[in-house]
Amino acid sequence: MSGKIITLTRHIIEEQRRFPQATGQFTDLMNDIAFAAKLISYHTNKAGLMGILGETADINVQGEIVKKLDIFANETMVRALDHNGHLCVMASEESEDIIPIPEQYPLGKYVCLYDPLDGSSNIDANVSVGTIFSIYNRISDADTPGTLADCLQKGINQVCAGYVVYGSSTMLVFTTGNGVHGFTLDPSYGEFILSHPNIRTPQKGSIYSVNESHYDYWDENIRNYIHYIKQVDEKTGRPLNSRYIGSMVSDIHRNLLYGGIYLYPPSKLAPEGKLRLTYECNPIAFIVEQAGGKAIDGYERIMEIEPTSLHLRTPFIAGSEEDVILFEDFVKQNRHKVNI
């Protein structure tokens, strides 16, 4: 095999050598996540053929319609991660409470939170969806079942965060705080191969991604910002280009590579925003920051927010540093800076 092919496992093993105290547990956990991602990828690609498409009669804890693939992805994550002794507890966007490790299995030192399927409203139209995950060290006592407090840590405590995008190819992108690395699933080997080492997002982008149908529900500062970025001004690179898929993973992935800003601001419809701090915003914020970008709720750094409940929602603005700072200036009404 050519020395240039670096698998996900090899990359993680080599990264872990920086930590003399590493036990191999983290590498194993990442392999479990990668295995779940391969299963979800396979089923996402085959969804139409396997009669798995369509809505179930269930409504999830968020009060939304649950798609069959949401359930499949959730069960796949639970089953891939519950038995290897790396985790003490899990939490999923699709489960109301924390997910304990079944008694018959050993307990580990990590905590894993995930959104098993992000962008599920897009599934039936064959549009990219994703999985998002976040790993913390446990803070509860070793060898006891993990607790809610283990799952309610600030984003700055994450030891790893990643997403998988099931797009024209399947990619797993993650960070352990040592840069952001992207791996593409080679369907013939069934392996994630390093394809995007050390992803850096442009300091300033040319894309904005937002559900603009909420315009009338936003407060004035947000409307002013969106109005501003659409005005023509060559010197400041305006107007920005509009791109919105409606699968955050896919919107963020594109903007990470091309540069741009993703926004899910508060509105009269959703005063706290829509996205969940623990499953969606914290992991994406860790990745965006590690790629050189910025992630805020409008005022505060996302990863500094105290999660007071498992399914807490937060406004979310993330992307190229200069673009996010400009948004911040509008929201904080630093009008001297933004010349409106």
Q: Given the rule CB under 5 A, which residues bind Mn ion? A: 93, 115, 117-118
CB burial of residue 20 (10 Å; 0-12, 13-18, 19+): exposed
Q: Which stretch binds ligand AHG (CB under 6 A): 111-119, 231-239, 298-306, 318-326?
A: 111-119
Residue 274 binds ligand AHG, judged by CB under 6 A: yes
For Mn ion, the closer of residues 280 and 328 by Cβ is 280
- Alpha-carbon separation of residue 167 from 13, 128, 156, 164, 315 (angstroms): 27, 5, 29, 9, 26
Q: Closest residue (Cβ) to Mn ion? A: 118
Least Cα distance to 89 among 130, 139, 28 occurs for 139
Phi, psi of 314, deg, nearest 5:
-150, 150
Asked whether position 303 contacts ligand AHG by CB under 6 A, the answer is no
Candidates 192, 143, 153; CA nearest to 286 is 153
Residue of 142, 185, 161 whose CA lies nearest to 26: 161
Assess 178 for contact with ligand AHG (CB under 6 A). Answer: no
Q: Which of 32, 115, 150, 297 binds ligand AHG (CB under 6 A)?
A: 115
* Residue 175 sits in the site that holds ligand AHG (CB under 6 A): no
Considering beta carbons, is residue 33 or 123 the nearer one to ligand AHG? 123
What sign results for the dihedral spanned by CA atoms 87, 92, 98, 99?
Answer: negative
94 binds ligand AHG (CB under 6 A): no
Residue number, 120 or 290, with CB nearest to ligand AHG: 120
DSSP string, 1-33: --TT--BHHHHHHHHHTT-TT--SHHHHHHHHH
* CB of 118 vs ligand AHG, minimal distance in Å: 4
Q: Does 119 bind ligand AHG (CB under 6 A)?
A: yes
From ligand AHG, Mn ion, none, interface partner of 246 (C-beta below 5 to 8 A by class): ligand AHG
Q: Which does 247 bind (CB under 5 to 8 A by kind): ligand AHG, Mn ion, none?
A: ligand AHG
- Nearest approach, Cβ of 280 to Mn ion (angstroms)? 5
Query: Min. distance of Cβ 148 from ligand AHG in angstroms?
Result: 21
What 3-state class would DSSP assign to 302? helix
Residue 118 makes contact with ligand AHG by CB under 6 A = yes
123 binds ligand AHG (CB under 6 A): no
Stretch that binds ligand AHG, among 71-79, 172-180, 246-254, 295-303 (CB under 6 A): 246-254
Identity of the residue, 88 or 164, whose beta carbon is nearer to ligand AHG in the bound complex? 164
Nearest to residue 87, comparing CAs of 74, 61, 105?
105
Residue 267, φ and ψ in degrees, nearest 5: -150, 170
Q: Is 120 in the site for ligand AHG (CB under 6 A)?
A: yes
Residue 211 interacting entry, from Mn ion, ligand AHG, none, C-beta within 5 to 8 Å by type: ligand AHG
From edge to edge, which strands make up the β-sheet containing 316-319? 241-242, 207-209, 261-264, 316-319, 294-296
2: closest CA among 170, 194, 149, 266?
194
The Cα 134–Cα 39 span in angstroms is 19
> Which among Mn ion, ligand AHG, none contacts residue 60 (Cβ within 5 to 8 A by kind)?
none
Binding positions for ligand AHG, rule: CB under 6 A: 93, 115, 118-120, 211, 246-248, 274
